[in-house]
Amino acid sequence: MSFDIHYNLLKRFRHVALSAAAGLILALAMPRPGWWWMAWVGLIPLLAALRGLSARRAALCGFVCGAFYYGIVLRWIMLFGLLPWALLIVVESLGFGLFAAICARVAPWRIGRFGYLAVPAGWTALQFVRTLGSFGFIWGSLAHSQANCLPVAQIASITGPWGIDFIICFASLAIWSAIRTRSIKPLIAASLAAAGVVLFGAWSLTSSAMPGKSFKVAVLQGNLKNDFNPIPDYIPAALDKYSTMTRDAAKSRPIVILWPETALPTDLSEPWLADSLAKLARSTGSFLLVGGYASPDPATPGCIYNSLLGMNSHGLFAGSYSKVKLVPYGEFVPLRQYMPFLKRYGIRAEDLCAADDHALINTPIGKIGTSICFESTFPQIACAETYKGAELLCVVSNDAWFKRTSAPEQHFMMARLRAIENRRYLLRAAGTGISAVIDPYGRIRQQAGLFKTGTLIGEVVPIRKLSIYTLSGDWLAYISCFIVVLGLIRSACGLQKPAREKHPQEISH
C-alpha cells in the first residue's frame, strides 16, 4: 500500500516536473537569452506529460508550464509590483491550461493522425484568441522568438505570426511522437514542412531591396526619462533636446523626421508649443512626426489622446494618429473608482481616451501607418493600416518604464515581425531604445541601442504591393479554430480510433 502511494506521488510529480521543464525551456527562446531554437523543442516535455491524462489533469500541467514560462518572460512586470506580476501570470497561464486540456482530447494518441493537425491548430488558435478584446495581451508569443531567425520568420508574410506558431508546435509534436512510437513518419512530415518554411524564407531574403525610389528619413532617440507625471521642467528640456537633434538631423536633408512616443508629454496644440514646432519644421524643411498628447475632438471635452502629429515643412499641422488600443491598467483603468489600492502601483492619475479609427498620415514620401507602443504587439493593427493604403509603417514607443530588463528587446522583436508580415519598411522610434530602421524582410538597417542618445539616418522605399497576409488577414487562425472544433467533435463522438503505437518492447522482438 505504501509503495503504491509513493509510486502514484512520483508519477504525479513527474507530470508536473515535465510541465515545469517545458516552461523553462520555452522561456530560453525569448530575450534573454533569446535562444530562438529552444522554441522548436520546448513543448516536448509538456506533450510528454499530457499522454494518458484527463482533460482536467492536463489543464493543471498546462497551467504549471505557463506559470514557469510567463513567470520568467514577464518578470519585468515586477517593476510595477509583485501583485500585478502574479495576477498576470495566473491569467496568461490559463491559456496554457486550456491548450493542454485540448491536447488531452485531440492528440494523435486519442484521435489518430488528425491529431497532428489538431494539436498545433489548438496552440495557434489560442495565440490568436489572446489578441482579442479590450484586454488582449499577446506578449510572449513563441512567434516573436523567431524574429531573430529570419529564414523562419518570412512565412509571416503569408500566414502572419500564426504560421510560425503552428510550425513550432507541429515540430515539437512530431519529435515527441517519433520518440514515443519509434516511427519516423511524423518526423519526416515535420521536417518537410520546416524545410519548406526555411527554403521560402531563404529565397525571400535573396531580395536585397524593394524596387522604387528611395527617400531619406531620420529617427530620433533622445534617451530622456519620461514618467507618467513628468516634472514641471521636463517639457521645455525635452523640446530643447529634440529640437537640437532635429536640426542636426536636418543637415542630412531627410524628408521625414520621426520623434518617439510622447516625446513631449503635453497637449501639442498649446499655442507656445505649436509655434515652436512650426518654426522648427520651417527651419529644417522636413516633415516632422512628433509624439505627444492631443485633444482633437471638441465633442469630447476633457478627452486626452496619445497621438503622433504630423507637421509639414510650412509649419502647418498635417494629419495625426491617435492610439486606438490602450494598455489596460496602464493608460486606462476599468472600474477605477472601485480599486483605489491601485494608486500604490504608480498608475496614471487619469485615463486616456481611445481613438475610433487607425488613421493614416499623409507625408511627402507616402502614407504612413502608425502603431503606438502596445499596439505594435498586435499583428492586426499594422495589417489593417497597410490594407488601407499605408506605404510605410512606423512604431513609436516609450520603453523607459522597462529599464534594463528584457522587455525592450522583446518589444523590438514584434516590430520586426510587423515589417515582415506586411512587406513594408518600418521606422521604430523609442525614447530610450531600441530604435531602428527595418526593411520589409525584418533586417535591421540602422539601430540605436538601449539608453543611448542617437539619430538614425536611413533610406526607405514606399511600397504599394500587398503581401498575402495583408490581403487575407488571419486566415490561418480561423482555419485553426475550425480544425480544433472538428478535432473535439471527433474525440467526443469517437469518430476515429488512434493508430496503434509500436512500443519499445514490441520492437525489440
The half-sphere exposure of 253 on its side-chain side, counting CA atoms within 13 A, is 1
| Predicted pLDDT of residue 507 | 37
| Predicted pLDDT of residue 183 | 84
Q: What does DSSP assign to residue 406?
A: S
For the chain, what percent of residues have pLDDT higher than 90?
Answer: 78
- CA Rg value for the chain: 25
Where do the domains of the chain lie? 2-206+479-497, 215-462
Rounded to 5°, the CA angle 499-501-503 comes to 175
List helix spans (H) across 107-153.
108-111, 115-129, 142-145, 150-153
Phi, psi of 505 (to 5 degrees): -65, -40
The residue behind cell 504612413 is: 368
Select from 115, 106, 39, 156 the least CA-distant residue to 476: 156
**pLDDT surpassing 70 at residue 30:** yes
CA-to-CA distance for 219 and 450, rounded, in angstroms?
14
| Predicted pLDDT of residue 134 | 87
**pLDDT surpassing 80 at residue 2:** no
| Predicted pLDDT of residue 505 | 43
Cα distances from 58 to residues 64, 422, 467, 480, 493, in angstroms, run 10, 37, 39, 21, 20
Confidence category of residue 345, pLDDT binned at 50, 70, 90: low
Report the amino acid identity of residue 176. Answer: W
**pLDDT surpassing 60 at residue 3:** no
Cα distances from 84 to residues 79, 135, 167, 432, 437, in angstroms, run 9, 14, 32, 24, 33
Cis peptide before 347 (omega within 30 of 0): no
Instruction: Check if the beta carbon of residue 257 is closer than 8 Å to that of residue 284.
Output: yes
**pLDDT surpassing 80 at residue 424:** yes
**pLDDT surpassing 70 at residue 341:** no
Instruction: Give the mean pLDDT of 151-161.
Output: 98
**pLDDT surpassing 90 at residue 56:** yes
Three-state DSSP class for residue 134? coil
**pLDDT surpassing 60 at residue 107:** yes
Confidence category of residue 506, pLDDT binned at 50, 70, 90: very low
pTM of the model: 0.92
CA-to-CA distance for 14 and 366, rounded, in angstroms?
58
Q: Is 446 left (phi over 0), alpha (psi -120 to 50) or beta?
A: beta
| Predicted pLDDT of residue 504 | 42
Write out pLDDT tens, residues 255-306.
999 999 999 999 998 999 999 999 999 999 999 999 999 986 656 667 889 9
Write out pLDDT tens, residues 244-257.
999 999 999 999 99
Select from 66, 73, 32 the least CA-distant residue to 49: 66
Instruction: Check if the beta carbon of residue 388 is closer than 8 Å to that of residue 424.
Output: no
Which DSSP string corresponds to 160-229? THHHHHHHHHHHHHHHHHHHHH---HHHHHHHHHHHHHHHHHHHHTT----SS--EEEEEEE------SS
**pLDDT surpassing 60 at residue 203:** yes
The half-sphere exposure of 388 on its side-chain side, counting CA atoms within 13 A, is 18
Instruction: Give the mean pLDDT of 465-471.
Output: 98
Q: What does DSSP assign to residue 501?
A: P
Instruction: Give the mean pLDDT of 229-248.
Output: 89
| Predicted pLDDT of residue 245 | 98
Q: What is the CATH number of domain 215-462?
A: 3.60.110.10
Confidence category of residue 493, pLDDT binned at 50, 70, 90: confident
Lowest mean pLDDT among 123-132, 178-187, 387-396: 178-187
Select from 428, 427, 420 the least CA-distant residue to 467: 420
**Who wins on pLDDT, 329 or 114?**
114
| Predicted pLDDT of residue 7 | 54
Three-state DSSP class for residue 372? strand
| Predicted pLDDT of residue 303 | 83
Instruction: Check if the beta carbon of residue 402 is closer than 8 Å to that of residue 76.
Output: yes
Cα distances from 437 to residues 26, 82, 217, in angstroms, run 29, 35, 9
| Predicted pLDDT of residue 398 | 95
